[in-house]
Amino acid sequence: MPRTVLPSRDRELVQIVDAAFAEVARKSGDWLKCGPGCTQCCIGVFEINQLDAARLRQGMKDLEARSPERAAAVRERARAAVEQFGDQFPGDPTTGILNTDEESKQKFDDFANEVPCPALDPLTGRCELYEARPMTCRIFGPPIREEYRLGVCDLCFQGATEKEVAACELRPDPNDLESELVRDVEGATGKRGETIVAYCLVK
């Protein structure tokens, strides 16, 4: 398994993001449907950065120490996913780093959209690496800015007006600490670029 280089300030970033989510969840009330067993955001691959990857690897080490059987099951699901991807993976199959050319980006949009995250326990519907989950997972659900619009989970804010949705906008990392920590990890590991969860957990 690749060396885990998780910056000490990652804990600070996680606290900032989780606190922002908690405040938005309070404002959102019943409009926000996120909860244990809801796996809407756990199906389909998505890009993660090298900071997310380092956090996931540390989470796997912690899980292996607590529950080797559960960790082995996660690892096996990751191996099965990578094997399923085969030569359709729009990146380097050895490193798991995604390609950045336009053709590969377009290919990724339709890539493995029905494949569950390896960290998802299929029996309980819960994340085995919840405390170490990527930032995408931490902020999914509430309205979040996507260029010129607010994106929101399809299951949430049903019946809310645009004004009500906008009032619950999530601003997870206003000082962009994440970008600083990503640079730190990339500098320490020499690995640059985005990957996906399965490749972080397969070894």
d(CA 170, CA 154): 16
**Looking at residue 3, what is its pLDDT?**
57
Res 169: pLDDT: 95
In order of 141, 164, 173, 179, the CA distances from 169 in angstroms are 10, 9, 12, 21
Helix (H) or strand (E) holding 176: none
Interhelix angle 50-66/68-85, rounded to 10 degrees, is: 140
Per DSSP (E only), the strands in the chain are 144-146, 149-151
pLDDT under 70: residue ranges of the chain: 1-4
Residue ranges of the domains in the chain? 10-198
Q: How far apart are the C-alpha atoms of 79 and 156, rounded to whole Å? A: 32
Strands 144-146 and 149-151: antiparallel
- Which residues 6+ apart lie within 8 Å of 182 measured at CB? 49, 50, 51
What pLDDT was estimated at residue 149? Answer: 85
Local structure of 135: helix, strand or coil:
helix
User: What pLDDT was estimated at residue 36?
Assistant: 82
Here the tokens at position 146 are 């996507």
Predicted TM-score (pTM) of the model is 0.92
pLDDT digits (tens, 9 = 90+) for 67-83: 999 999 999 999 999 99
Q: What is the pLDDT of residue 203?
A: 75
- Residue 172: count of CB within 10 angstroms of its CB: 18
pLDDT, tens digit, 9 for 90 and up, residues 15-50: 999 999 999 999 999 999 888 888 888 999 999 999
The pLDDT, as a whole number, for residue 77 is 97
Q: How far from 103 is each of 35, 39, 48, 111, 128, CA to CA, in Å?
A: 36, 29, 19, 12, 33
